[in-house]
Amino acid sequence: MFRLLPDLKSKGVMGINRRNREYILKNNPRRNYVLVDDKLETKKLALAHNIGTPELYGEIHYQQQIQHFEELVKGRDTFVIKPARGSGGGGIMVIREVGPMGYVMSNGRVLSVEDMHFHLSNILSGLYSLSGLRDKVIIEQCIELSPIFKNVSYKGIPDIRLVVYKGVPVMAMLRLPTVSSAGKANLHMGGIGVGIDMATGQTLNKGVRYNNFIDRHVDTGAKLGAIDIPDWQQCMRLAAKFSDIVGMGYIGVDLILDQTFGAMMLEVNARPGISIQVANRAGLLPRLDLIDENKAYDLPFEERIAFATKHFAAPATTQAE
């Protein structure tokens, strides 16, 4: 048959409209959004259920509290500032060192105390929040990146995005910051996405950046494929467990790997992007349908992880050698 447009349907590619209509609207109850949209709430929920997350150093709710920022970070050399309701990594600031000139950011820029206060004030007034509403500032532990990522990260922290459907991990990718993404791991800002084989926790043979497939990291030149994510089963457990706790059926869980503490949950997205399909060169729909057909969501916790391991292995053509 003559086709005017590429055949995405038979590959099970999920479009935004389908994601919104069939998965987000049906599985994510509105009242639970606050638990994931506000990262402070997410963090507190995770802490209450013993889910690993970077340590909370402090929080700022009102403009007046900015004066006491120095006390909150007293004795801390490294920490991360972020807006509780930020989106797309906006407003996140990683401080590597507190020097006499001020705060040294991960990219080497030095912020004066005044600059820092302005940034905090901007966050509070909602500059980075989803709807421009008043926001809160989170000050948290800056993780020590697992050495496994040393070669593929450049001035930023790679994270792992796991899509979880009704408590079953579905698809995952490793997101790597680049110079042009300004240290953020966001794909549409120039970060690199590398699919992860759900069965083995190993990255696929190619990464994707701006819709182009690449073999090597654009900045470091290191190979993107065949990176074994340490403790992969634990990563999946973490994501699945949080999905159970938060009561949302279709979420993206962002994890980071700390040198000492292992997998930690960074944040949760109630509207996970669909670019993960490009990174994995596979559509989401066949996997989601498989979960529904087998009622995998009714399985006990450990069996759900096993289900994902068994059924969502990467196609052989995309696996790293």
Contact between 283 and another protein (CB under 8 A)?
Answer: yes
**Nearest CB to another protein, comparing residues 20 and 294:** 20
Give min distance, CB of 128 to another protein, in A.
8
Dihedral class, residue 17 (left if φ above 0, else alpha if ψ from -120 to 50, else beta): alpha
Contact between 189 and another protein (CB under 8 A)?
Answer: yes
Tokens of 102: 């001020």
Sign of CA dihedral 68, 70, 74, 79: positive
- Which one of residues 17, 64, 67, 131 is an interface residue with another protein (CB under 8 A)? 17
Residues in 51-110 that interact with another protein by CB under 8 A: 88, 90
Sign of CA dihedral 289, 295, 297, 302: negative
String of b and e for 217-250 (b: at least 16 CB within 10 Å)?
A: bbbeeebbbebebeebebbbbbbbbbbebbebbb
Tokens of 128: 């980075």
**Nearest CB to another protein, comparing residues 10 and 50:** 10
Contact between 8 and another protein (CB under 8 A)?
Answer: yes
Contact between 121 and another protein (CB under 8 A)?
Answer: yes
Strand, coil or helix: 308: helix
Contact between 21 and another protein (CB under 8 A)?
Answer: yes
Give min distance, CB of 230 to another protein, in A.
29
Phi, psi for residue 79 in degrees, rounded to 5 = -165, 170
Which of these segments, 66-74, 126-134, 243-251, 292-300, binds another protein (CB under 8 A)? 126-134
Contact 251, 270 (CB under 8 A): yes
Phi, psi for residue 98 in degrees, rounded to 5 = -110, 110
Contact between 27 and another protein (CB under 8 A)?
Answer: no
- Which one of residues 11, 61, 150, 310 is an interface residue with another protein (CB under 8 A)? 11
Give the total of residues touching another protein (CB under 8 A): 36
Residues lying near another protein in the complex (CB under 8 A) are found at 5-11, 13, 15-18, 20-22, 88, 90, 114-115, 118, 121-122, 125-128, 188-189, 211, 213, 275, 277-278, 281-283
